[in-house]
Homo-oligomer: A and B are copies of this chain.
């Protein structure tokens, strides 16, 4: 298992976006531009996810083997890079969920404690 850097609270932007993108790709292959739009359905304001960030993440994810891509020329519009999730990506997602749940509990605890003191 690679050492987890920079993930003290698990919910760093990049990590979370990776999980969200993998989730979307788990449902069906898609290209970057549409994925950014679909983030809206996850409660993630797409205005906060620039295309630059999203495409960079997708490229990184492919390098890490979490997703794979192929060009799609057919259809209307410019050529699109269609991404699919790999088995490795599925594993990563499972792992992420487990960690995220732990982190969520810590966060929830902290929030409740703070609310109690503020009250």
A residues apposed to B, CB below 8 Å? 6, 8-13, 16, 19-20, 23, 26-27, 42-44, 48-49, 90, 93-94, 96-97, 100-101, 103-111, 113-115, 117-118
Residue from the list B43, B97, B110 in contact with A19, Cβ < 8 A: B110
What's the Cα separation between A111 and B11 when bound, in Å? 11
B117 contacts A111, CB within 8 Å? no
What's the Cα separation between A49 and B6 when bound, in Å? 11
B107 contacts A111, CB within 8 Å? no
What's the Cα separation between A16 and B109 when bound, in Å? 12
Chain B residue numbers with a CB within 8 Å of A94 are 118
Residue from the list B6, B9, B26, B44 in contact with A11, Cβ < 8 A: B9
What's the Cα separation between A90 and B13 when bound, in Å? 26
Chain B residue numbers with a CB within 8 Å of A16 are 8-9, 107, 110
- With contact pairs A12-B11, A12-B13, A48-B8 given, residues A23 and B97 touching in the complex (Cβ less than 8 Å): no
Look across to chain B and name the residue whose beta carbon is closest to the beta carbon of A41. Answer: B113
Chain B residue numbers with a CB within 8 Å of A13 are 6, 8-9, 12
A87: shortest Cβ distance to chain B, in Å?
Answer: 13
